[in-house]
Amino acid sequence: MHEQKYLSRSLSVHQPDYLYWKRVKMISIYPFNLPLATPYRWMKGIQYSRAGLIFRMDLDGAIGWGETAPPPHLPVDGKKLKGEALDNLRDLDPYCEDFIEQLDTRDIDPRIRTGITTAWITAKAAAEGMPFADFLGKGWRSPATEVPVNGLIGEAEPAAVVERCTQIWHQGIRTFKIKCTDDHTMDNQRVAAIRAAFPKAKLRLDPNEAWTPENVLRRLEHMATYNIEYCEEPIPSAYTLANLERFARLKEQSPIPIALDQSVTTMETTKQIIDAGATDILILKSQAMGGFDRAVEIIQMGEAASIPSVMTSSLETAIGLTASLHGAAILPTPIPPCGLSLGRFYAKDIAAKPSIHAGVMQVPRGPGLGLYRDQGFRFVRAYLRLITGRPHINYDVYKTWQQLIAFNSHQQKLSSVLNLPSFAFETICSGVNTAQR
């Protein structure tokens, strides 16, 4: 009883708002607030939970999903955020092919745009029976079937850092991304400990804008002794963008390749960065850019200038993480290890996250995001194990939509068993129905 009370407080998913078109419910918006199993430590603070919005779009039975993930260090008012999303959607027709163009006439936050457009595009992909990655690459590139990932290192003490690296290494991951701070001595000790324990690993540094224009070159020169693959956004992005020519000179002086992350937001700023010669690598976050349609354009822009891109996530749930996995699959091969291993931070997630085997994630091949079959089965399997005591349940026996509907009356029991939000049963089962047509 005590555990259930704790879960009901820590795992918060509110009732959705709906938008209708021609009396048909098409868009559902679910604010959420999920606890983290492991605190997320970075230069801008320590996060213990993650809040945002989940979008579900239904286009004549083709189901799409999207996520809005505000910056993790900022407080999130779920009701206000949902209201902002609803205001951006009112009077728009998702059945119009120019839906995104309609949306872009609004003054819309890029993270809300990401959630809405991802839901719409994945619904369009599902309507054609295509995985999201295939839809993004249609007429341009055949996506990869798997994507290598890096491991994020945020621990502070050298011993804890090496322990985390060991766990990641056993997953087959050979690239470590180390969150750095403004504490030079501590970071030097952490990186030195990793390099001593893992001489063959690739190391990336991510100061998250923590260094200063005055000390950045000195820090880069010292860190170069540890054979660093690249360093992300070492100084504040506002300074970088205001002084692109100066930053380009810094990049040329640096013994470590430079990647830009927070600076890569719009097509305009990315073009300015490329034209100035201010980066060696583009780090792509769909949340910051406003969606995967824009990510595709920036990938193509980088390729035209022979600048590689790396896809990474923004501490999103399995919905946003899986969308980023599809986005990474359309990078040119060989795909570099991408920042997609953040699912471990969640105590409970709202969908089954892609697993890591031998250092790679398999790109789901179902329609849209491809989460439907696995997650629907997870609900059914958990319930059947509860009532039958059987440890193994064969999916093929229970896969039809009619059988899934039979369990609808047990929604609350299923949610309790899985410690997952109750809305997921209805929406995921709808997805299973779509995927099996």
254 & 301 share domain: yes
Residue 29 and residue 86: Cα distance in Å, rounded? Answer: 8
- Number of domains, the chain: 2
**Residue 359: left if φ>0, alpha if ψ -120 to 50, beta else—which one?**
left
pLDDT value at residue 102: 95
Q: Indicate whether 37 belongs to any domain.
A: no
- How many residues in total does the chain contain? 437
State which residues form the domain around 342.
Answer: 146-362
332 & 420 share domain: no
> What pLDDT tens digit does each residue of the chain (437 aa) get?
332 222 223 334 444 455 544 434 578 888 888 889 988 877 777 888 889 999 988 888 888 999 999 987 788 888 899 999 999 999 899 999 999 999 999 999 999 999 999 999 999 999 999 999 999 999 999 999 999 999 999 988 999 999 999 999 999 999 999 999 999 999 999 999 999 999 999 999 999 999 999 999 999 999 999 999 999 999 999 999 999 999 999 999 999 999 999 999 999 999 999 999 999 999 999 999 999 999 999 999 999 999 999 999 999 999 999 999 999 999 999 999 999 999 899 888 887 888 999 999 999 999 999 875 444 445 445 444 544 555 454 444 444 433 444 444 454 444 444 444 444 444 434 433 333 33
Q: Indicate whether 47 belongs to any domain.
A: no
**Boundary of a domain, candidates 340, 362, 384:** 362
Q: Indicate whether 384 belongs to any domain.
A: yes
Q: Indicate whether 31 belongs to any domain.
A: no
CATH number at residue 291: 3.20.20.120
394 & 356 share domain: no
Q: Indicate whether 83 belongs to any domain.
A: no
352 & 433 share domain: no
Q: Using CA atoms in the order 119, 426, 76, 110, what is the torsion angle rounded to 10 degrees?
A: 0
341 & 227 share domain: yes
Residue 94 and residue 2: Cα distance in Å, rounded? Answer: 44
Provide the terminal-to-terminal Cα distance of the chain, rounded to the nearest Å. 41
Residue 344 and residue 342: Cα distance in Å, rounded? Answer: 5
Distances (CA, A) of 241 to 155, 236, 256, 264, 340: 30, 9, 20, 10, 26
Under DSSP, the state recorded for 174 is: -
Residue 176 and residue 203: Cα distance in Å, rounded? Answer: 5
- Cβ partners under 8 Å of residue 197, min gap 6: 162, 165, 166
319 & 408 share domain: no
Q: Is 266 helix (H, G, I), strand (E, B) or coil?
A: coil
**Boundary of a domain, candidates 362, 379, 414:** 362
Q: Is 305 helix (H, G, I), strand (E, B) or coil?
A: coil
199 & 166 share domain: yes
Q: Indicate whether 10 belongs to any domain.
A: no
222 & 244 share domain: yes
Q: Indicate whether 46 belongs to any domain.
A: no
Instruction: Report the candidate in 243, 244, 242, 309 with the shortest Cα–Cα distance to residue 276.
Output: 244
Residue 359 and residue 132: Cα distance in Å, rounded? Answer: 22
For every residue of 274-294, which 3-state class applies, written as one string? HHHCCCCEEEECHHHHCCHHH
268 & 388 share domain: no
Side by side, the strands of the sheet bearing 146-148 are: 146-148, 360-362, 356-357
pLDDT value at residue 311: 98
Q: Indicate whether 390 belongs to any domain.
A: yes
322 & 350 share domain: yes
**Boundary of a domain, candidates 326, 345, 362:** 362
430 & 286 share domain: no
258 & 387 share domain: no
